[in-house]
Structure 1
Amino acid sequence: MMPPERRKSGRQGLPIDRLSNLPKNVINSILMRLPLQDAVMTSILSKKWRYKWCRLPQLTLDDDLWEETHDLLSPSIKFTKIMYQILTLHSGPLTKFTLSISALRKYLKINSLIYFLSRNDIQDLVLKFSEWNRYRLPPSFFTCSQLRHLTLQNCVICPPPAFKGFDMLNSLNLCDVTISSKLLESLISYSPLLEKLVLKISDTSDHLQINAPNLRSFDFTGCIKYISLRSVPLLSKLSLPCQKSIEESEKCDFDKFFQLLSALEHLYLANGSDQFLVTGAAEVPRRLSSPLNYLKRFNITLWRLADFSIALCLIRSSPYIQDIEMEVYCSRDYLSEKLEASNEVDEVLASFSDVTLNHLRTVQLEGVEGIKIELQLIKLLLTKSPMLVKMLIDPSSSDNYDARRDKILAATTVQRASSKANVVVSDEYEYYRDTTP
C-alpha cells in the first residue's frame, strides 16, 4: 500500500507553516497576552510575524521587564532603548497603554512617549510612577481627547488654563497624585461622561465637591475634611473609608447627605467615615427623612459609638436591604464605658418596633466582642428578617474567647423570623463565609 501523499505548501515536502497563516486577529490576540519583551522576540518566527508587535493596539511596559532580563544594563538604559523602539517602530493606532515603572528613579523620554500617545488616539491609559519621584504630566497629556479610561499614580497634575476636561472619559482612578481640590473638582466636572471614580489620596484634602451627572461608582480612600455629593443622581455604589482621622473635619448634615443619594445600591463606610458625616452619636437621626429604597448591600467598619448609631439609622432607613456586613474594631472597654452613659442599647429594639427587614438574606459580623449592643443587634436581625438565609458571626479573638462565644450563642437562641436561617458562630469565619451558600 502506498503511503498517503504528504500535504505540501509552497515547496515540495515541507509542512504547512501554520504560524504564518494564522488570521491577523488571532496573532494580535496572542501578542497582547505576552510580555512586551516576548512579543518583540516573535519577530524571529517568520517573515509574516516580523514587526507584528509594532502594530499592536495595546502595549504594557512594567517592572516585570526589568526582572525578566538577565543582561547587565541598568533599568534606565533598558527603558530608554525600549522607548526608542516604540517611538520609532510602532505604527497605527495605540488605544491602550500601561506604563508602570515604580522601580525607576529617572524618567527618560516619558514626555516624548506622552506626546506620541496623544497623537495616536489613546483611549485607555495607565501611568504609575515611583512614590519618591512623582512625574509631572506634560501639556501634551491634556490633549488626549479620546481618553475613555485613565489611571494615574504618583503624578503631579497641573493642567494648562485652556484645559476643559476629557469629553469621552468614562472611568478615572487617581492614586497618590498631587492636585489641588479646585483642579480636581474641575477635572471631574469637565468630564461629563464619567461613570466610575476612584480617589486614593494620602495628602490631606480640604472641601471636595463632586458634580458628575453620570457617575455610578465612587470609591474614596484618604484624608479629607468634607465631601459634598451635590449632583450625582445616578450614583449606585459609594465607598467612604478614611486612612486617618482629621480632628478639624467639617461636618455635613447627615440626613441631607443621604437625601442626595436616592439611587444608592451599595454603601461601604469604614474607619473615619463618621468624622465628616457626624460629630457624634447625638447628631444621627433615628431614621432618614427619605428612605434609601434602592440600597441592597451595606458594609460598615465599627470603630466608635457613632458608627453603631450610623449603622442602625441606615438599616432602619433601607427597607429593601439584602446583605449586611459589619466589622468591629472597637475596644471592648471603650465601648462598654461609652455605652454606660448612653441609652443606645435599651433603645435598639424599641427603635425597630415598626421595622421589618423583609428582604434581608445574609448577615456577616466580624470581631464581635459580646457586649450588650452587639447582642441586641444579633437578636434584632434574627427576629426581624423573615427571609434570612445566613448569619456568620466571628467572635473577637481577644481574651476570654470561650465566654464571649457562649454569650453570642445564647443571643442566637431567640425565636427567629426565618425558619431557613443558618447561624454560624465560629473562629473559622473565613471558611464558612466562602463555603456556605
Structure 2
Amino acid sequence: MGECSRKDFISDLPHGILDCILTKLPIRDAIRTCVLSTKWRYQWATMTQLVIDENCVRKSQIKRKFFNFMLRCLFMHNGPILKFSVSFKYLDECPDMDQCLRFLSRKNIKELVLDKVSPEPTLATPAVFSCQQLISLTIKSFGMKLPRTFQGFPCLKYLHLEYNILTGEVVENLIAGCPLLEKFEFVNFECGEFTVRAPNLKHLFLDVNFTHIYLEHAPLLAAITIEIDTEFAEGKPLITVPVTYHCLKFIQLNGVLFQEKNEVVYVHHLLLQTPNVQELRISAVAIEDAFFEEADMDFWEKEIAADFLFKHLKIVKMSCVSSEKDMQFIKFVLRCSPVLELMSVSYYIEDGTNMNIENAVLHFPRASPGVDIKFSVMPIPPIVF
C-alpha cells in the first residue's frame, strides 16, 4: 500500500496527456512545474500550445518584462508549436515581433492569435504572412498591408479580423488568397465595399459598416450572420444576392429596420435566394427622425407570390420587435412556413402594448398547425435618435 501511495502516476502518463494537462494551466504555472522533478524540468518546453498575456508578468516595467518573457518562452522551446496566442496592449512596440513570427513559421505553427487589446490599430508586421502552414488566424487591433510577394495562406480554414485598419481591397485579396477558407469573421468600424471570393466558405460573420458586399463567389455558404446599417450605406443596395444559395441553412440578421425600404428589399431578396433555410434569426430596430424611403405596410403581401413557401424553415427567432412593420414580417413568415416548429418573439414593453403584440401574433394565420409560439419581454425600447 505504501509503495502505491508513493508512485508518481502523473509523471508516467503519455507525453500527449501531459501536454494536454500543461496547456490547461496559465503559462507561468506550466513553466513552474519544472521544479517538480528532473523529468518535469523541460516538460513545459515541449508544450504544443503557448498562450501569453499580460497576466504572465508583474505590472511594474510591464513592457520590458512581457517582451523578455515571451522571447524566453519561444527560444527555450524545443519542439513544434501548433498554437501561439499573444494578447498585450503594447504588442506593436515589441522590437523582436518580426523575429518571433519568423521563428514560429519554422515551428510548424497552425493557429496564430495576435491581439493588441487596444482601440487604436497599428500596422501589423509583414512577417505574419510567412506562416504559410496556418489553419487558423486571428488578428485584432492591427492594420494590414499585404506585401507584394503575398501568395496567400494555402492551408487557412478560419480567419478572424477585429478592429483592424483595412481597405475593402485588402480584405478581398486576403480572402482570395485562402482557397480552403471555411469560416470568416469580420468585426470592424467600416470597410466600404468588397467581394467575398471563397469557394469553400461555409460560415460568414460580418459586424462591420459597409456600403456593399458581393457574395456570389461563395456558393457553399451554410450560415451567415450580418449586421445591417442603412445609414452607413447611404441608401445604396446593401448586398447583391444574384445567385441561389442551396447550402444556406442558417441566417442571422442584426439591426434590421423594417421601416426602411432598402433593408426590407435586401431581406426579401436574400430569403428568395435561400430555398433550404432552416433557421432564421432577426433582431429588429426602430429609428426616429431618420430620413429614408419608407417600406410599404403591405410590402410582404405585394412582393411575395401567393404560393411562396419556406419548405424547410423550422426555427424563427425575432427579437427587439416594436413596430407594426416588424409584425407584418412575422405574419408573412407564419403564413409561408408549413414545417415551422418554433416562432420566438421578443418585444419591448411600451405603453402597455405587450398584450396587443401577443394577441396579434396568436391570431395570425399559420401554415404549420404544430408551431410553438413563445413570447419574451425586453425592458428597453430600441429607439435610435
Q: How big is the shift at 1:98?
A: 0.3
Q: Map Cα deviations across residues 233-276 of structure 1 (whole Å, 9 max, x no partner).
A: 2222223314673255754785xx241644332233333xxxxx
Asked if 2 retains the 8 angstrom alpha-carbon contact of 1:75 and 1:104, the reply is no
Q: Which of 190, 200, 214 is residue 214 of structure 1 equivalent to?
A: 200
Larger fraction in strand: 2
Structure 1 position 330, deviation (Å): 1.5
Q: What's 2:88 paired with?
A: 101
What's the counterpart of residue 391 of structure 1?
Answer: 343
Compute the TM-score of the two structures, normalised by the length of structure 1: 0.75
Tell me the distance in 2 between the aligned counterparts of 1:229 and 1:410.
36
Tell me, yes or no, if structure 1 residue 268 matches structure 2 residue 252: yes
| SS at structure 2 position matched to 1:227 | strand
Deviations 1:165-205 (A, max 9, x none): 12111111111222333333222212222222122222x43
Letter in 2 for 1:188: I
Indicate if the aligned counterparts of 2:105 and 2:130 stay in contact, CA closer than 8 A: yes
CA distance in 1, matches of 2:12, 2:286: 64
Alpha-carbon distance, 1:222 to partner: 1.6
Residue 55 (structure 2) aligned to one of 60, 64, 73: 64
Residues 238 and 395 of structure 1, relative CA distance in 2, 3 Å threshold: closer
Structure 2 residue aligned with 1:30, among 3, 21, 46?
21
Mapped pair 1:147 → 2:134: yes
Cα distance in 2 for partners of 1:155, 1:105 equals: 8
Q: In the TM superposition, what is the alpha-carbon distance from 1:7 to its structure 2 partner?
A: 3.0
For residues 166 and 331 of structure 1, do their structure 2 counterparts lie closer, same or farther at Cα, with a shift above 3 Å needed?
closer
Q: Where does residue 367 of structure 1 map in the other structure?
A: 320
Secondary structure of the residue that 1:187 maps to in structure 2?
A: helix
RMSD of equivalent CA atoms: 3.3
Matched with 1:307 is 263
1:7 alignment partner AA: E
Match of 2:363 in 1: 413
Matches within 5 A, 1:140-219: 140-202=127-189, 204-219=190-205
Which whole-Å deviations, capped at 9, do the CAs of 1:131-178 have from their partners, x for residues lacking one?
A: 355453334322212111111111232233222112111111111222
Matches of 1:263 and 1:64, distance apart in 2: 43
Change in CA separation of 1:428 and 1:36 when aligned onto 2, cut-off 3 Å: same
- SS of 1:259's equivalent in the other structure is coil
Report SS of the residue matched to 1:186: helix
Conservation of the 8 A alpha-carbon contact between 1:327 and 1:367:
yes
Q: Which runs of 5+ in 2 are unaligned?
A: 380-385
Partner residue in 2 for 1:285: none
SS where residue 269 of structure 1 aligns?
Answer: strand
Which residue does 2:123 correspond to in 1? 136
Equivalent of 1:424 in 357, 374, 383: 374
Q: Deviations over 1:359-414 (max 9, x none)?
A: 3333333333362x44444444444444333323233222x22x442354144235
List aligned pairs for 1:338-357, cutoff 5 A. 338=294, 342=296, 344-345=297-298, 348=301, 351-357=304-310
> Is the alpha carbon distance of 1:386 and 1:234 closer, same or farther for their aligned partners in structure 2, counting shifts above 3 Å?
closer
CA distance in structure 2 between the partners assigned to 1:163 and 1:132 by the alignment? 27
Give 1:123 shift: 1.3
Shift of 1:334: 7.8
The answer to whether the Cα contact below 8 Å between 2:347 and 2:378 also exists between their aligned partners in 1 is: no
Q: How many residues align?
A: 378
C-alpha contact (below 8 Å) 2:205/2:226 kept by paired residues? yes
Higher alpha-carbon deviation: 214-223 or 325-334: 325-334
What secondary structure, in the 3-state scheme, does the structure 2 residue paired with 1:245 have? helix
User: Residue 328 of structure 1: which of 284, 292, 297 is its match?
Assistant: 284
Following TM superposition, by how much is the alpha carbon of 1:417 offset from its aligned partner in structure 2, in angstroms?
3.9
SS at match of 2:21: helix
Between 1 and 2, higher relative CO (CA 8 Å, sep ≥ 6) is seen in 2
The letter for the 1-side match of 2:356 is D
From the superposition, tell whether residues 348 and 200 of structure 1 become closer, same or farther in structure 2 (CA, over 3 Å): same
- Deviation, structure 1 residue 46: 0.7
Distance 1:414 1:7 in 2: 75
* 1: CA distance, partners of 2:150 / 2:227: 31
CA contact (8 A) 2:348 2:378 kept: no
Q: Is the alpha carbon distance of 1:170 and 1:48 closer, same or farther for their aligned partners in structure 2, counting shifts above 3 Å?
A: same
User: Are the counterparts in 2 of residues 166 and 190 from structure 1 also a CA contact under 8 Å?
Assistant: yes
Q: Deviations over 1:295-314 (max 9, x none)?
A: xxxxx564634434444554
Q: Compute the displacement of 1:51 (Å).
A: 1.8
1:146 corresponds to which letter in structure 2?
Answer: Q
SS of the residue corresponding to residue 377 of structure 2 reads coil
Deviations 1:302-360 (A, max 9, x none): 4634434444554456554433333221158989x946xx4x42862894521344433
Q: What amino acid maps onto 2:181 in structure 1?
A: L
Aligned residues of 1:63 and 1:103 also touching (Cα < 8 A) = no
Contact 2:200 2:218 in 1 (8 A): yes
Q: Identify if the C-alpha distance between structure 1 residues 130 and 318 changes in structure 2 by more than 3 Å, giving closer, same or farther.
A: closer
Larger Rg: 1
Distance 2:216 2:309 in 1: 31
